[in-house]
């Protein structure tokens, strides 16, 4: 199993698309078993499992598996031995007849794998298949990937940002930098530290926490966010109590479906909930909108694809930042501000006028974070701050968020990865089955492993402990 | 430079393609019939496109906001009809005019309310409204055309609204066209309103995340589209001197064709006033030139339909081919 790692925009996704025959290389050839491998060959024998599965949400899991099959006559196809076998291999029988849109993301990924298996592909490409999965779910996913590797004559390539997985599952890892293969690590050289070092070659920011965590704890008596008896309308969470002061970064963890996501969205006013929601002492929804900025997990829900980088960065602003008192748009000021924010958030694009959807994923994420903080809110509510983002960018985003908290504001974040909590937050609370645990001081954990163990304990103790 | 910032990249390429098509068409028509390029014909051509283009400007705003308004044709008809009836039943001209425009605004506000509050997709809402408004138009007019007698108080003003001739032989309708174009262009490209509107149309979810005033903006957009349609209806009523209950029924095609040929996207977030103007000009040019050549109505309809599809297909092709590297809006 070959791993591919590299910073954002290094060319990982392009490589995957070329191997899959979705894009034509400018030069060079691909050899398989010593012979040139053409696009036509590849289309049949390469199966790509994308970061965002490309499936049919309106069809059931089984129907999704059947779709790729060749002709079976004019009748509606039915699952036969082979499909049923794949369904049971992937433990999908339970959800086989459910429409995909009602299934969790891990089912989507497994369905994509199922489709790949049915095509008898030679090469399996996994392009960050678990970037949106929780730890448990990705372990389940990798279980299946490892089993596939056992079979002979199959090539498995994994593109990932998560070092632990690359080290744990891959035999060799190639580090791609600026369109070229920078290094190949294998055997003893293949370690998280080794990879981390290779990945940040030529980048200013490091990953070490010590450089920045100087972020003091709470300062002053002001309360920036207060939730009391905060309950989701459909009971995804109940009676949540939160107090957040200036300078604080609080992360909430929780598996998919725990209610943690909904909690953050409800704080931003995007999910229906009732109880007390106070931001800097204000309860009025419009006042809260002005004081709070929310960054969604999915970049596509946070950006305007028809806009330039500068327009995206300033889209949350209004009078007087980018418009006159009478509402006239001040384009020159908009671009000046956009350029300034581009520099501040180290967004790598050709110009401020470049269309935002031509940026790489990590840079798009920086635009999303930048546009939220451009509004200069007192409270940032952010879901998975660094989803699908490389190490250097991660460090930059953490730095920005900490800097922002240090300036007397607060951050409420939802994270799915323990190292992220360790690097970013001062306090962490765990949501399980709609109940929010007591908070834990991240500084009390000596290492990521300690923290992970502690968080596991907090999750296990379950709702009863918190209700008392 | 900054004021023309929306005129860049692929949009410029698209417009230049459209302008090239216009030039070629003009050369072809002129070489067959020299009358085509005379000032008289060209002025008449722009006059004839002015009212449907005013409606198309309102529709451009609606499309940029990510919605559709199919009811503009019916609004055009009922605004003229209700204005005429009020006036002929003794309401002072100015009051009747304002009332006619307000009918358009009201229909727009109802469209927006149903779309944003009850959340019926605007396609359905305005499709229903198209039929509903037409029905009401027949109801209030007793299915009769109206033909205001010239002795009615204020008739001279009414007549001047749509048929006055300005210096240099320019019909007043062209002035109305220019005024509405300038107004909507400023609104769409020069104000915070237009900026946010393009954001809302470009990604509704992101607009929600950014806490933009989505509902309020959409109400404005539909109201403006209604007002534009009402104004156009009243201007044509004045120009013709009479109006029928189903006036505007044939407006849907030219309005949408002009907006789409002009580069607006049916999925929202994209569209410019200049593009719509040039799209409308191209359409009128074709109809005018084909009539001059003596091509029959059927052949004209077929040709204009083909060109509309072809223009958008060609644009798709050049976009994919040229690669999309510049943002369209802002």
Phi and psi torsions of A115, nearest 5°: -60, -40
In Å, what is the CA distance from A283 to each residue of A277, A291, A292, B307?
A: 6, 11, 12, 56
* Edge-to-edge strand list for the sheet holding A225-232: A240-244, A225-232, A273-279
Q: Which of A384, A368, A347, A399 is nearest to A207 (CA)?
A: A399
Which ranges of A6-162 would DSSP assign to H, the alpha helix? 12-19, 39-45, 61-67, 81-89, 105-118, 135-150
Cβ atoms of B269 and A304 closer than 8 Å: yes
Domain edges within chain B: 2-322
Top mean-pLDDT range of A409-413, B66-70, B165-169? B66-70
Count of residues for chain A?
Answer: 468
User: What is the residue whose two structure tokens read 């943002």?
Assistant: B327
Q: What is the average per-residue pLDDT within B275-292?
A: 92
The pLDDT-based confidence of A205 (bands split at 50, 70, 90) is very low
B293 Cβ contact list (under 8 Å, min separation 6):
B29, B32, B33
Q: Which helix H or strand E contains A309, and what residues bound it?
A: helix A309-313
CB < 8 Å to B209, chain A: 268, 270, 294-296, 301-302
Q: Which of A159, A116, A181, A155 is nearest to A37 (CA)?
A: A155
Distinct helix (H) and strand (E) counts, chain B? 13, 2
Q: A435: which 2 tokens?
A: 């109940």
How far is A56 from A298, CA to CA, in rounded Å? Answer: 19
Task: Considering only the beta carbons, identify the residue of B193, B206, B325 that sits closest to A355.
Answer: B325
Top mean-pLDDT range of A22-26, A341-345, A431-435, B177-181? B177-181
Please give the residue that has the higher pLDDT: either A75 or B156: B156
How far is A130 from A109, CA to CA, in rounded Å? Answer: 8
ipTM of the complex: 0.80
User: What is the residue whose two structure tokens read 């010590």?
Assistant: A210
Task: Considering only the beta carbons, identify the residue of B192, B194, B270 that sits closest to A318.
Answer: B192
Cβ atoms of A426 and A248 closer than 8 Å: yes
The separation between the first and the last C-alpha atoms of chain B, rounded to the nearest angstrom, is 12
How far is A229 from A235, CA to CA, in rounded Å? Answer: 12
Q: Which of A265, A252, A264, A230 is nearest to A432 (CA)?
A: A252
Top mean-pLDDT range of A446-455, B5-14, B264-273? B264-273
Q: A25: which 2 tokens?
A: 């290389």
CB-count burial class (<10 Å; 0-12, 13-18, 19+) for A200: middle
In terms of CA atoms, which chain B residue is nearest residue A351?
B326
Q: Which helix H or strand E contains A291, and what residues bound it?
A: helix A285-291
What domains sit in chain A, N to C, each tagged with a CATH number? 2-199 (3.40.50.300), 225-302+377-467 (3.40.50.300)
Q: B194: which 2 tokens?
A: 């237009």
Q: What is the average per-residue pLDDT within A11-37?
A: 78
> B120 CA to chain A: closest CA distance, Å?
20
CB < 8 Å to B325, chain A: 354-355, 358
Cβ atoms of A425 and A250 closer than 8 Å: yes
Q: What is the DSSP code (8-state) at residue A438?
A: P
Cβ atoms of A432 and A238 closer than 8 Å: no
Cβ atoms of B157 and B147 closer than 8 Å: no
Q: A237: which 2 tokens?
A: 């969470």
How far is A6 from A161, CA to CA, in rounded Å? Answer: 7
The separation between the first and the last C-alpha atoms of chain A, rounded to the nearest angstrom, is 49
Cα atoms in the Cβ-side hemisphere of radius 13 Å centred on A220: 13
Cβ atoms of A320 and A407 closer than 8 Å: no
Q: What is the DSSP code (8-state) at residue A354?
A: B
Mean pLDDT estimate for chain A: 79
In A, what residues contact B, Cβ < 8 A? 268-270, 289, 294-296, 300-308, 310-311, 315-316, 318-319, 322-323, 327-329, 331-332, 334-335, 353-356, 358, 371
Q: Which residues of B184-218 are buried (b: 16+ CB within 10 A; e: fewer)?
A: bbbbbbbbbbbbbbbbbbbbbebbbbbbbbbeebb
> B282 CA to chain A: closest CA distance, Å?
26
**Given this model, what pLDDT does residue B6 score?**
43
CB < 8 Å to B269, chain A: 304-306
How many A-B residue pairs are in contact by the CB < 8 A criterion?
105
Structural fold of domain B2-322: ABC transporter involved in vitamin B12 uptake, BtuC (1.10.3470)
Cβ atoms of B147 and B241 closer than 8 Å: yes
Residue B326 pLDDT greater than 50, yes or no:
no
Residue B328 pLDDT greater than 70, yes or no:
no
> A72 CA to chain B: closest CA distance, Å?
35
Distance of CA A189 to the CA centre of its chain: 28
Phi and psi torsions of A156, nearest 5°: -120, 125
In Å, what is the CA distance from A60 to each residue of A55, A72, A97?
A: 10, 19, 5
β-bridge partners, A32: A35
> A333 CA to chain B: closest CA distance, Å?
10
In terms of CA atoms, which chain A residue is nearest residue B188?
A329
Residue B258 pLDDT greater than 50, yes or no:
yes
Q: What is the average per-residue pLDDT within A400-426?
A: 86
**Given this model, what pLDDT does residue B94 score?**
95
Cβ atoms of B237 and B83 closer than 8 Å: yes
**Given this model, what pLDDT does residue B11 score?**
61
**Given this model, what pLDDT does residue A143 score?**
83
């Amino acid at each position: 199993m070959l791993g591919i790692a590299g910073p954002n925009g290094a060319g990982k996704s392009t490589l995957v698309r070329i191997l899959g025959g979705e894009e034509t290389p400018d030069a060079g050839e691909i050899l398989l078993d010593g012979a040139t491998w053409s696009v036509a060959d590849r289309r049949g024998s390469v199966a790509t499992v994308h970061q965002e599965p490309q499936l049919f949400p309106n069809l059931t899991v089984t129907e999704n598996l059947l779709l790729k099959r060749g002709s079976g006559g004019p009748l509606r196809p039915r699952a036969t031995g082979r499909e049923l076998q794949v369904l049971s291999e992937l433990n999908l029988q339970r959800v086989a007849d459910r429409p995909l849109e009602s299934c969790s993301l891990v089912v989507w990924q497994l369905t994509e794998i199922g489709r790949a298996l049915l095509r008898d592909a030679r090469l399996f490409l996994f392009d960050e298949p678990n970037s949106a999965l929780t730890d448990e779910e990705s372990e389940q996913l990798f279980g299946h990937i490892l089993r596939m590797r056992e079979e002979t004559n199959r090539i498995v390539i994994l593109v990932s940002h998560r070092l632990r997985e690359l080290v744990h599952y891959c035999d060799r890892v190639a580090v791609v930098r600026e369109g070229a293969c920078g290094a190949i690590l294998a055997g003893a050289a293949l370690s998280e530290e080794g990879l981390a070092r290779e990945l940040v070659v030529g980048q200013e920011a490091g990953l070490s926490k010590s450089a920045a965590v100087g972020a003091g704890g709470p300062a002053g008596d002001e309360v920036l966010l207060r939730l009391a008896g905060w309950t989701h309308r459909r009971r995804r969470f109940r009676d949540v109590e939160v107090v957040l002061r200036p300078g604080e970064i609080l992360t909430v963890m929780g598996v998919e479906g725990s209610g943690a996501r909904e909690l953050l969205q409800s704080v931003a006013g995007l999910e229906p909930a009732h109880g007390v929601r106070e931001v800097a002492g204000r309860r009025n929804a419009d006042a809260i909108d002005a004081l709070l900025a929310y960054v969604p997990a999915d970049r596509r829900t946070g950006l305007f694809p028809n806009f330039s980088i500068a327009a995206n960065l300033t889209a949350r602003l209004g009078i007087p930042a980018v418009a006159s008192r009478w509402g006239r748009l001040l384009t020159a000021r908009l671009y000046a501000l956009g350029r300034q924010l581009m520099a501040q958030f180290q967004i790598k694009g050709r110009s401020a006028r470049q269309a935002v959807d031509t940026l790489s994923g990590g840079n798009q994420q920086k635009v999303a974070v930048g546009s939220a903080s451009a509004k200069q809110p007192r409270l940032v509510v952010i879901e998975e701050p660094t989803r699908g983002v490389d190490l250097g960018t991660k460090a930059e985003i953490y730095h920005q968020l900490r800097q922002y908290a240090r300036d007397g504001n607060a951050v409420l974040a939802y994270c799915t990865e323990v190292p992220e909590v360790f690097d970013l937050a001062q306090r962490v609370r765990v949501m399980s089955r709609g109940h929010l645990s007591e908070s834990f001081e991240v500084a009390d954990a000596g290492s990521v492993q300690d923290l992970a163990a502690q968080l596991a304990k907090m999750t296990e103790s379950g709702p009863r402990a918190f209700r008392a | 430079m900054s004021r023309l910032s929306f005129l860049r990249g692929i949009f410029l390429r698209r417009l230049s393609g459209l302008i090239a098509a216009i030039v070629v068409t003009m050369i072809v028509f002129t070489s067959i019939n020299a009358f085509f390029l005379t000032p008289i014909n060209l002025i008449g051509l722009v006059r004839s496109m002015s009212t449907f283009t005013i409606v198309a400007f309102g529709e451009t705003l609606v499309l940029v906001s990510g919605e559709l308004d199919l009811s503009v044709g019916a609004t055009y008809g009922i605004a003229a009809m209700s204005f005429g009836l009020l006036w002929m039943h003794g309401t002072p001209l100015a009051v009747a005019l304002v009332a006619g425009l307000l009918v358009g605004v009201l229909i727009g506000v109802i469209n927006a309310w149903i779309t944003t509050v009850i959340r019926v997709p605007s396609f359905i809402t305005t499709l229903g409204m198209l039929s509903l408004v037409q029905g009401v138009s027949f109801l209030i007019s007793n299915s009769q055309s109206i033909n205001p007698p010239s002795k009615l108080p204020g008739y001279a003003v009414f007549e001047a609204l749509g048929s006055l001739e300005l210096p240099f032989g320019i019909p007043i309708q062209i002035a109305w066209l220019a005024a509405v174009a300038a107004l909507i262009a400023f609104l769409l490209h020069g104000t915070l309103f237009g900026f946010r509107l393009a954001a809302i149309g470009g990604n509704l979810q992101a607009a929600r995340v950014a806490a933009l005033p989505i509902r309020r903006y959409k109400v404005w957009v539909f109201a403006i589209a209604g007002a534009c349609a009402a104004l156009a209806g009243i201007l044509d009523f004045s120009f013709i001197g009479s109006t029928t209950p189903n006036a505007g029924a044939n407006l849907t095609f030219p309005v949408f064709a002009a907006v789409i040929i002009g580069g607006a996207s049916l999925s929202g977030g994209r569209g410019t006033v200049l593009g719509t103007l040039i799209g409308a000009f191209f359409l009128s040019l074709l109809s005018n030139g084909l009539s001059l050549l003596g091509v029959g109505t059927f052949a004209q309809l077929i040709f204009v339909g083909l060109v509309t599809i072809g223009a958008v297909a060609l644009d798709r092709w050049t976009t994919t081919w040229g690669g999309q590297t510049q943002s369209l809006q802002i």
